Structure 1
Amino acid sequence: MEAVLSGGPWFVNGHIIGMEKWTPKFSPLSLKGLTSRIWVRMLHLPLHCWDEKNISRMASMIGKPLMMDGNMFQWERREFARVSVRIKIDQSLPLGVWVESLSGRFF
C-alpha cells in the first residue's frame, strides 16, 4: 500500500493517476489540505537552464516537482519545458516565477 501511495504518479490507460491516503479529517466540502498534480509549461528558458536540476528548482517554486517530460531534452523539441508538480488546491498559482541566472533575472 505504501509503495502505491508514495510511488506515483501512475499511468493507467494513458492517464496519470495519483493517490493519497484517506484521513478521517477529510471533508468533500473543503479544499484545505487537498493537493493535485498538474503539468506546468515553462517557456523561453535560457539555454543554460535546460537541465533537470535547474528545471526542478524552478518547478519547486510552484509546487513539489514529481516528473519531467522526457521529450523536452531532445534538441528539436526545445520550445518549452514541461514538469508535473503537486500543488495545494486551496492556494492560487503564480503566473510565473523570477529566476536569477548567469545572464540576469528572467520571469
Structure 2
Amino acid sequence: MRKILGQWVINLKPGILWFFCWSPDFNPHSKVHTHAQIWVRLMHLPQEYWRKQKLFEIVYGVGTLMIIDDATKSRLFGIYARILVDVDMSGKLFDFILVERE
C-alpha cells in the first residue's frame, strides 16, 4: 500500500490513474472529479516547436502532457499541433496560449 500511494499517479497512456487513501467515511457519490483530459490545438506553431520536448514545455502550464497526436508526431498535417492534456478544472483555465520566441 505504501509503495502504491507513494506514486500518487500512474500514466496509463491514454489515461491517468490517481491514487488516494480511503477513509472509513468515504462516499464515492460525494467525490467531485476536477480533472479532465482535453485535446489542445496549437495553431500556427513553427515547425521547430513540434518536437516532443518543446510541446511539453508549451503545455506544461496548462496541465499534464498525456499523448501527442500521431499526425503531430510525424508532422504530416502541419496546420496545428494536437496534444492530449490532463487539466485540473478547478484551477484557472486558459482560452489561448501565447508562444513567444526570440
* Fold conserved between structures, TM > 0.5: yes
Residue of structure 2 equivalent to 1:53 = 53
Identity %: 18
* Cα shift readout 1:59-97 (whole Å, capped 9, x = no counterpart): 112111122112213343111111111111212420112
Deviation at 1:27, TM superposition (A): 6.7
Secondary structure of 2:40 counterpart? strand
With normalisation by structure 1, the TM-score equals 0.66
* Cα shift readout 1:16-74 (whole Å, capped 9, x = no counterpart): x543224447773645xx32222111111012212111111111121111221122133
Secondary structure of 2:18 counterpart? coil
For the 8 Å contact 1:61–1:97, the answer to whether it is kept is: no
CA separation in 2, counterparts of 1:85 and 1:79? 19
Residue of structure 2 equivalent to 1:13 = none
For the 8 Å contact 1:18–1:37, the answer to whether it is kept is: no
CA separation in 1, counterparts of 2:35 and 2:85? 10
Higher relative contact order (CA 8 A, sep 6+): 2
Contiguous gaps of at least 5 residues in structure 1: 11-16, 103-107
RMSD of equivalent CA atoms: 2.8
Contiguous gaps of at least 5 residues in structure 2: none
Q: Which protein is richer in strand relative to its size?
A: 1
CA separation in 2, counterparts of 1:50 and 1:38? 19
Kindly provide the amino acid, as one letter, of the partner of residue 28 in structure 1: S
Secondary structure of 1:37 counterpart? strand
With normalisation by structure 2, the TM-score equals 0.69
